[in-house]
Amino acid sequence: MNQHILIEAITPAVDQGRYPAKWVAGRPCVVEADIFRDGHEVLRAAVRWRRKGEQRFTEAPMEPLVNDRWRGEMYLPENTRYEFTVEAWTDVYASWLEDLRKRVAVAEPVASEVIEGTTLLESFVDGAKGAHARTLREAVQALRAWTADGGAPAAAKSIAKSTAKSTAKPATKAAGKRTRGRKSAADNPGAATAGADTSTPAPDNPGAAALAIAEAPALLAAVAATQPRFGATAYEPFLELVVDRPRALFGAWYELFPRSQGPVPGEHGTFADAARRLPDIRDLGFDVVYLPPIHPVGTTHRKGRNNALRAAPDDPGSPWAIGSKDGGHMAVEPRLGTLEDFDRFVATAETLGMEVALDFALQVSPDHPWVREHPEWFYHRPDGTIKYAENPPKKYQDVYPMNFDTENRQALWDEIRDVMEFWVGHGVKIFRVDNPHTKPLAFWQWVIGGIQQAHPEVIFLSEAFTRPKVMKALAKVGFTQSYTYFTWRNHKWDLTEYLTELTDPERAAYFRPNFFANTPDILHEVLQTGGRPAFKLRLVLAATLAPSYGIYSGYELCENEAVPGTEEYLNSEKYEIKVRDWNAPGNIREFIARVNTIRRQNAALQELTNLRFLATDNDQILFYAKSDAARDNVLLIAVNLDPHTPQACTAIVPPDVIADEPVGAYEVHDLLTGARYTWGASNFIRLDPQAEPAHILRVERRHP
């Protein structure tokens, strides 16, 4: 610890730097810290950063806020890992100058203080060059002349006048320029005047001329460029940032089973069939096409339709029962096609501006090659047989879980890493990881860190519907995004409470939610009973509350048949092939496309922490605002949470939601319907779910 300076409470940081925080490339990253020292000396601070593994730092100045809190900004242009620190030091010249101002203001004798300042300036001369060196020498000469006369002789007045008129700019380095060590690091130009008493001393005050020399702009610039950082201390250990590409924060996901994309009911589709579906998904406005496992499906204990224990001869089985005589995790189901067909599917998606996400499930069918080659990688019963997966009362006789505590652990870990590398080599840059909470955190930290070191563009989505602290820990050890409890948040109070938690900056520094409105495993009661309006309102919530969201295919058709008393789909696609009419009556395709277009056209919907809930007098209407940093893009969103009944309310919009300055009336444009309204502080809303269950209002014209 530095003898005088203390730096603490740096943000962004996760568990005081135990884990990396997350950021997105190309966006300014605000860094704050508590910085203080004993006494009244003036402090300076800078945030310093570099790519992990490099030597040279880039830095930018930090400015004081209130109560010893400081703020600066880093610019992180690349999708890679960075490390950063905060450095602080005592500005000895500014501290001396501040003391001199106080004394001159009350006409105290300052001869001794001026001698101290002169000596200080002399110590800077050797490190100065060019115009700065000349300015320092002239100031030393002028202050010496003032001291020799015990006042302000003509020579001193002349030099003070000339330096005061100087317009020389401080020789500081712009944020983002590389620096070597402390001598060339950026400083805060003009900072020597911070907190100064700007009152003008009386003309007959003998210290006034000395002060004029000491605070001349050209001299302050020369000092800022040359004085060493006295007592400089940097926060250690350095903090780490995983800087992801923009897709890690913002994107719309669409989940489909390739085997269900064929034209003939009951016949197994192919990658080519799925590729023909891609333009339609693009037109719906999705960025990511997510595929369940595409590997060979086992035959031993294959499940039949609706999870039946016995499969009919034509039942395809669950894609999550991975592995057969045709291969394991590095192979594809032969009925889907070949690896070359998969490569063409990925290339087609890229041509259309989409990415392919692949399910990564660490479990196997009894027919997987690993069972034969590495039986030690699995759990065994006392009789020596391998245990199948269970989640009582659910049983998965067709699946064996992996034993991550095997004595041959490193071989297992290496094999899994090689599987990921294999699919990255085939164009997969996004993995949706199945049930990661059933595997060790240490494994995920190791494998994600290793993959991202070689391929920083790879994104990992955690599918872990489990205990909150486990979900948080998975995010901390490396998962880029996380499934959430959004599906089960359907009331105003619990949506408000949950989103307030998710958007808290401390949590958002490491946990990025992805709001799936449904999944092959989850059909919530609201969707089962609420009909078409429920599908629309839940889509608006998912797509506007979180920058990343997703739907499972069939959502656009409002499919809502469930196994009675459960959240399981009746006739689940997990166990059968479903060929659909994508233009069936009652679909909400156009609505989905409109919402996704709104997301892309409004920057306010591409952020997480800019959410602000607003008051209404009806618990069935959720009302909230999102805006960009400059408030050039302000959205007001109202959603009727009741899919059955029209609801009305008075909605309150505080003036500071709209602009920094007070505003009167303003115009809002409903991006869902095209309607325009004049609004103010208090507004009437009525939402009929049979028409549109929501407003997405953009503020377009403000009136004084």
Q: List the catalytic residues.
A: 434, 463
Closest by CA position to 567, among listed 595, 528, 514, 597: 528
Task: Check the CA dihedral 686-687-692-693 and report its sign.
Answer: positive
The CA distance from 205 to 421, in Å, is 76
CA–CA distances in Å: residue 601 to residues 110, 136, 303, 502, 542: 63, 54, 44, 24, 17
Which residue(s) pair with 678 in the sheet? Answer: 667
The CA distance from 338 to 331, in Å, is 8
Which amino acid would we find at residue 48? R
The three-state (H, E, C) secondary structure of 34-93, written as one string:
EEEECCCCCEEEEEEEEECCCCCEEEEECEECCCCEEEEEEECCCCCEEEEEEEEEECHH
Whether the upstream peptide bond of residue 265 has omega within 30° of 0, thus cis, is: no
Helix (H, G, I), strand (E, B) or coil at 592: helix
Q: Which residues contact 453 (CB under 8 A, 6 or more apart)?
A: 81
The CA distance from 127 to 385, in Å, is 77
Q: Please, what's the b/e burial string for 324-360 (b: 16 or more CB within 10 A of its CB; e: otherwise)? A: bebbbbebbbebbbeeebbeebbebbeeeebbbbbbb
Q: What is the DSSP string of 492-511?
A: HHHHHHHHHHHT-HHHHTT-
Tracing tokens 């009437």 back to the chain, one arrives at: 684
**Helix (H) / strand (E) containing 411:** helix 409-424
The answer to whether 542 touches 581, Cβ cutoff 8 Å, is no
CA–CA distances in Å: residue 199 to residues 95, 158, 202, 211: 18, 22, 9, 12
The CA distance from 588 to 578, in Å, is 19
The answer to whether 365 touches 300, Cβ cutoff 8 Å, is yes
Q: Which residues contact 134 (CB under 8 A, 6 or more apart)?
A: none
Backbone angles phi and psi of 499, in degrees to 5: -70, -30
Task: Check the CA dihedral 366-370-372-376 and report its sign.
Answer: negative
